[in-house]
Amino acid sequence: MRTMFTFVFLLCVYTVSSAQTTLDKIVAVVDREIITQSDLNFTLQQLALQNRMDPNSKELRDRILDGMINDKLVLAQAIEDSIIVTEEEVTDRLEQQISRLTHQAGGQEQLERVYGMSVNRMKRDYQFRDLIRKQMLVQKIQQQRQASLTISRREVEEFFTTYKDSIPKVPTEFELSHIYIEPKGDSTVLKSTYNKAQAIADSIKAGGDFAEFAKRYSSDGSASQGGDLGFARRGSFVKEFEEAAFTLGESQISKPVKTQFGYHVIQLVERRGDAVRTRHILFPIEVSKANDDSVVAQLNRIRAQALAGENFGLLARKFSKDIDSKDVGGDLGKVAIDQLDPVYKDFVKTAKAGDISEPRKVPVGNKYGYHIIFVRSVTPEHTINLNEDYKRIEQLALQFKLSNNYQIWVEDLRKTIYWEKKL
């Protein structure tokens, strides 16, 4: 069961709430949480726009407010049950969501322009992190309740008999696997980037202005603020950066620190309790055309091996650098034709089972790589039936049962947890 708000909504609500006045009207109170008029109005406008509904509809407004109240009730119960979400879990989820948003926005600069703040600020901002933490608390308690819920074959068949006429056709689907490799700067590039970073660090230590060097040389979004990343606690940065930042003394300058983003020169500006305020200068490791060509050539060799009969899954385990799929043989799952990634949709939608694409460039957050795509099978569009689609129907029936149980549970929470509308 998903909560009403997606992460995109959370970011947008934060953007609105950060600009609203402290006199914003409260429209509902749930336990220790409040829902404000601006929260309600924004959510109403977004859902009405996405679903082409009338935002002035009182019925829609009431339904949305009830949904927001339900989310707060579940959050209150999660807190009451001492459900725990660690800072590391929040950081991981935040990294994943920002990566997706960066891809959707077309790059980090575009994302920062949309939300009016740097990605680094998003990652360390307390309100962002608190919103994510609350969302994860709700998800965890829902998952705990759902874990023991099962469904019998009789229930699946009864569900199908009742609702089969309203279940849409199964769209054309593709089972896909891929092998993904990122081009890396060679040793000469790594050394020259390190040397450049070290030269800047030495210049600052000799009396140079850190902020001015950051504005001139840093490729990070914080460059315009002199590299200032503000205060952050552990878990806010990638491991290598964090290990260096938290071991520095105040005003101390680090040696160049290598992360997935490049080399950083870091200065600890101030330490306050368990939080540190740092600033940095980022030197990305440039990838040359030769590095790209090398990856493309490697993927072409792997493709030739697969087309000659070698097992694609074994090749993926050996060569792919996609940590999410390499251990399962590059498996990307079954994807419907209307859910294909635009990056490879043109190839897949016309492919036959057994086809393997030529190397294709694919963006991943603020980086990129190349991959080859293997179409393992193609299932044509068809009317859903128990013989071919039992697993799909079973999932639909289980979701239906989960939804009913969830609604009953929320109604019980409404009887035991304080809530009140203030409209």
| pLDDT for 390 | 96
Question: In terms of C-beta density within 10 A (0-12 exposed, 13-18 middle, 19 or more buried), how is residue 291 classed?
Answer: middle
Angle at 307 between CA 304 and CA 313, to 5 degrees: 95
| pLDDT for 103 | 66
Tokens of 411: 């109604």
Question: How many residues belong to the chain?
Answer: 423
How far apart (Å, rounded) are the C-alpha atoms in residues 288 and 14?
39
Contact 371, 299 (CB under 8 A): yes
Tokens of 386: 């128990």
Q: Which domains are assigned to the chain?
A: 7-148+403-421 (1.10.4030.10), 173-184+288-379 (3.10.50.40), 187-283 (3.10.50.40)
Query: H-helix or E-strand containing 269?
Result: strand 262-272
How far apart (Å, rounded) are the C-alpha atoms in residues 220 and 223?
6
| pLDDT for 21 | 43
Other Cβ atoms closer than 10 A to 327: 12
Residue 273, Ramachandran bin (φ over 0: left; ψ between -120 and 50: alpha; else beta): left
Query: H-helix or E-strand containing 30?
Result: strand 26-30
| pLDDT for 226 | 92
Using alpha carbons, list the distances in angstroms from residue 89 to 17, 140, 364, 396: 25, 12, 21, 29
Decide: helix, strand or coil at residue 365: coil
Per-residue pLDDT of the chain (423 residues; tens, 9 = 90+): 444 444 444 444 444 444 444 457 899 999 999 999 988 888 888 787 777 788 888 999 999 999 999 999 999 999 999 999 988 888 888 877 777 777 666 667 777 777 777 877 777 777 778 888 998 999 999 888 888 889 999 999 999 999 999 999 999 999 999 999 999 877 888 899 999 999 999 999 999 999 999 999 998 888 888 999 888 888 778 889 999 999 999 999 999 999 878 899 999 999 988 888 999 999 988 888 888 999 999 999 999 999 999 999 999 999 999 988 999 999 999 999 999 988 899 999 999 999 999 999 998 766 789 999 999 999 999 999 999 999 999 999 999 999 999 999 999 999 999 999 987
| pLDDT for 256 | 95
| pLDDT for 331 | 96
Contact 359, 303 (CB under 8 A): yes
Using alpha carbons, list the distances in angstroms from residue 419 to 40, 97, 148, 414: 16, 31, 29, 7
| pLDDT for 27 | 92
- Helix and strand numbers, DSSP H then E, in the chain: 15, 11
Other Cβ atoms closer than 10 A to 372: 27
Contact 227, 281 (CB under 8 A): yes
